[in-house]
């Protein structure tokens, strides 16, 4: 450890961090190129050639030229995913309710228990209604 001073360890860690960050940025740019539906196939190929042949300069040019729209596409993708998830939840809840799933049974049992607690139903009536509901 005497041959490798602390400052060199720090610089090595910094270089490693910058190298990993660079690959993350490169993959993000390449992903954005393929995700953008407004670009034609030739434009996508051109950007890929620039980014691959001139990696540092190409990514920097891409971020300057298309950085704002890159962020807008990220936001749009997140909103689309949230909307799809909400639609799925609504659809699953509707199918559960229409199919006589557990949620409607639980609600009906709760109503029966309230009626029994109020004294509107006798214990025998409650048991008959509960058995009819659970069949």
pLDDT of 2 above 70? no
pLDDT, average across residues 32-52: 93
pLDDT at residue 43, rounded to an integer: 94
CA-to-CA distance for 135 and 130, rounded, in angstroms?
A: 9
CA-to-CA distance for 55 and 49, rounded, in angstroms?
A: 9
In angstroms, how far is CA 117 from the centroid of its own chain?
45
CA-CA distances (angstroms) from residue 11 to 2, 8, 16, 36, 105? 16, 5, 9, 37, 65
pLDDT of 28 above 70? yes
> In the chain, how long is the greatest CA-to-CA distance?
89
């Amino acid at each position: 450890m005497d041959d490798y001073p602390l400052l060199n360890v720090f610089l090595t860690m910094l270089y490693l961090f910058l190298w990993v960050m660079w690959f993350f940025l490169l993959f993000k740019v390449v992903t954005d190129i393929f995700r953008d539906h407004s670009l034609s196939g030739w434009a996508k190929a051109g950007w890929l050639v620039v980014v691959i042949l001139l990696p540092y300069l190409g990514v920097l040019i891409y971020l300057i030229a298309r950085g704002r729209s890159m962020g807008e596409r990220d936001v749009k993708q997140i909103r689309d995913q949230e909307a799809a998830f909400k639609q799925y939840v609504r659809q699953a809840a509707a199918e559960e309710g229409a199919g006589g799933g557990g949620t409607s049974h639980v609600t009906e049992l709760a109503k029966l228990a309230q009626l029994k607690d109020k004294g509107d139903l006798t214990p025998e009536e409650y048991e008959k209604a509960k058995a009819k509901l659970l069949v």
